């Protein structure tokens, strides 16, 4: 959410930003919110003047009573009562206007970074850099669920009976590999100076609306019936929410946290053949990283965060590339975003395994995360990035480490988490 003062003073800039995001239907909202905000401020000014006048004439009552001027005192009391009724009515109007202004402001997209490429959707995202040599082996690479089934490693049928479509059981070596990757990612981030955290897996609605747009909320979040609680779609939500309504000392910045959590997502819409299996599911686990920092430091942390993911995947012999998200592919709160994509030898192309985002002060403004600096208080900047999200990451792992005989190599970095194994041998 952008600053209402910035919008008032720079309406053309805000409108141009909306056009860059190809959301022209939101252009009228800029003028509408300016008009509503003007009414709200006028209302506030009138309330302040009435309250000041009420306080002034209230002091007259005692003096009039002391002088025996009871009738005049009663007239003043009536005037105060009338003023009070008007103040109450204006307070109600102001509250309604404030609510309307906030609702609109939460739908107007954040100002994107000048370096963001302009494009309508993800088809116009721009490749930045490749890491590792993508290889297509001289043998056929099966679909990832077929590889897992060779290890008796996945059971969709039982999961369907228990929970329905979009769920799974991981079994045996595949389940162990899943946990090994999570544990390795945790220690990888701790070694890079991040503080490990296991957050709440449910959050209240004020945190949900503080960390994401309404559109994302509707598409992703599961609501707990009868309670003001939502299951998290990613741990960044509760991790950023940790700082809600806080004034943090500047000397404590940056906060660099890495968190484990299960994630729950509706995943609405039709899914293509490449998104079946464990690619797009309702429940998965993830290691995440977030940073809360000074505004001038957020570009530097943005580059550090995506590099962490690249380094992690390369340590497991998985080629990756970074992809700059274009303006039309950015969620409304984001200033800048880079996707990390892993190589799929079977598909002979890259696919997304993580996303790094700089949200500027948008989340901090919504959640009131302020910094107490030497020159006064200001809003923090927040960033987040996926460290690793199996089981989707397992697709890239299994395909890139598969041998012709069906065995799967275990990279050196991961062997301590797999009981020292250097290879997984299929059972069928």
Flag whether 114 is in a domain: no
Do 100 and 137 have their domain in common?
A: no
Q: Which of 276, 323, 290, 337 is nearest to 144 (CA)?
A: 276
Flag whether 113 is in a domain: no
Flag whether 144 is in a domain: yes
Checking if the pLDDT of 72 tops 80, the result is no
Mean pLDDT over 115-119 rounds to 97
- What is the separation, in whole angstroms, between the first and last Cα of the chain? 54
pLDDT of residue 278: 82
- Give strand pairing partners of 262: 285
Flag whether 387 is in a domain: yes
Checking if the pLDDT of 203 tops 50, the result is yes
* 13: containing domain: 4-105
Mean pLDDT over 379-390 rounds to 96
Do 71 and 14 have their domain in common?
A: yes
Measure the CA–CA gap between 299 and 296, rounded to whole angstroms: 7
Q: Which of 376, 384, 365 is nearest to 7 (CA)?
A: 365
At 88, the pLDDT band (50, 70, 90 cuts) reads: confident
Do 313 and 407 have their domain in common?
A: yes
CATH of the domain at 278: 3.30.930.10
pLDDT of residue 62: 60
* Cβ–Cβ under 8 Å, residues 315 and 394: no
Mean pLDDT over 104-131 rounds to 96
- Give strand pairing partners of 174: none
CATH of the domain at 42: 1.10.287.40
How does pLDDT run across 345-382, given as a tens digit for each residue?
999 999 999 999 999 999 999 999 999 999 999 999 99
Do 263 and 376 have their domain in common?
A: yes
Flag whether 162 is in a domain: yes
Rounded-to-5 percentages of helix, strand, coil across the chain = 50, 20, 30
The pair of structure tokens assigned to 126 is 């721009």
Flag whether 115 is in a domain: no
How does pLDDT run across 9-63, given as a tens digit for each residue?
999 999 999 999 999 999 999 999 999 999 999 998 888 887 777 777 666 666 6
Do 98 and 151 have their domain in common?
A: no
Residue with tokens 């570009």: 299
Do 354 and 405 have their domain in common?
A: yes
pLDDT of residue 1: 83
What is the chain's mean pLDDT, rounded?
92
Mean pLDDT over 418-424 rounds to 97
Flag whether 112 is in a domain: no
Buried residues in 349-370 as b, exposed as e (16+ CB within 10 A): ebbbbbbbbbbbbbbbbbbebb
Checking if the pLDDT of 339 tops 80, the result is yes
Do 98 and 173 have their domain in common?
A: no
How does pLDDT run across 287-296, given as a tens digit for each residue?
999 999 999 9
Q: In sequence order, which residues have a C-beta less than 8 Å from that of residue 237 and are 6 or more positions away?
A: 203, 207, 208, 211, 212
Do 248 and 177 have their domain in common?
A: yes
Do 54 and 193 have their domain in common?
A: no
Flag whether 111 is in a domain: no
Do 213 and 327 have their domain in common?
A: yes
pLDDT of residue 270: 42
Query: Number of structural domains, the chain?
Result: 2
> Which H/E stretch holds residue 52?
helix 27-66
Do 277 and 397 have their domain in common?
A: yes
Do 220 and 132 have their domain in common?
A: yes
* Cβ–Cβ under 8 Å, residues 239 and 199: yes
How does pLDDT run across 264-295, given as a tens digit for each residue?
998 765 445 455 688 788 999 999 999 999 99
How open is the CA angle 174-356-391, to the nearest 5 degrees? 10
pLDDT of residue 321: 98
Of 72, 105, 138, the last residue of a domain is: 105
């Amino acid at each position: 959410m952008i600053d209402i003062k910035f919008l008032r003073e720079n309406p053309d800039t805000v409108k141009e930003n909306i056009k860059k995001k190809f959301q022209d239907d939101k252009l009228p909202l800029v003028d509408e919110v300016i008009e509503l905000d003007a009414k709200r401020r006028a209302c506030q000014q009138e309330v302040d003047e009435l309250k000041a006048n009420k306080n002034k004439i209230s002091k007259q009552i005692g003096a009039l009573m002391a002088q025996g001027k009871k009738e005049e005192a009663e007239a003043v009391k009536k005037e105060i009562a009338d003023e009070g009724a008007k103040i109450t009515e204006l307070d109600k109007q102001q509250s309604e206007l404030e609510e309307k202004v906030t609702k609109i402001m939460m739908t107007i997209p954040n100002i994107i970074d000048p370096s963001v490429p302009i494009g309508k959707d993800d088809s116009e995202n721009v490749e930045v850099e490749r890491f590792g040599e993508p290889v297509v082996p001289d043998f056929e690479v099966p679909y990832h669920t077929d590889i897992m089934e060779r290890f008796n490693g996945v059971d969709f049928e039982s999961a369907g009976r228990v929970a329905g479509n979009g769920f799974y059981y991981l079994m045996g070596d595949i389940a162990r590999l899943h946990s090994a990757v999570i544990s390795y990612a945790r220690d990888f981030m701790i070694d890079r100076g991040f503080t490990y955290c296991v957050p709440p897996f449910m959050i209240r609605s004020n945190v949900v609306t503080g960390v994401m747009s309404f559109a994302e909320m509707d598409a992703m979040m599961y609501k707990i019936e009868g309670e003001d609680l939502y299951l998290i779609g990613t741990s960044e939500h509760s991790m950023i929410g940790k700082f809600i309504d806080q004034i943090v000392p500047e000397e404590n910045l940056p906060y660099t946290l890495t968190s484990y959590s299960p994630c729950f997502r509706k995943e609405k819409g039709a899914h293509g053949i490449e998104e079946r299996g464990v690619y797009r599911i309702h429940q998965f686990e993830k290691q995440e990283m977030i940073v809360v920092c000074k505004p001038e430091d957020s570009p530097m942390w943005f580059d550090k965060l995506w590099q962490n993911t690249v380094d992690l995947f390369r340590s497991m012999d998985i080629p990756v590339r970074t992809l700059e998200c274009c303006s039309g592919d950015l969620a409304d709160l984001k200033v800048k975003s880079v996707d990390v994509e892993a190589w799929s030898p079977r598909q002979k192309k890259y696919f997304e395994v993580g996303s790094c985002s700089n949200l500027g002060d948008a989340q901090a403004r919504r959640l009131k995360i302020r910094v107490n600096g030497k020159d006064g208080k200001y809003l923090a900047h927040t960033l987040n990035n996926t460290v690793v999200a199996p089981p989707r990451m397992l697709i890239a792992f299994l395909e890139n480490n598969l041998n012709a005989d069906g065995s799967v190599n275990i990279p050196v970095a991961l062997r301590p988490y797999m009981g020292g194994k250097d290879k997984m041998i299929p059972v069928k």
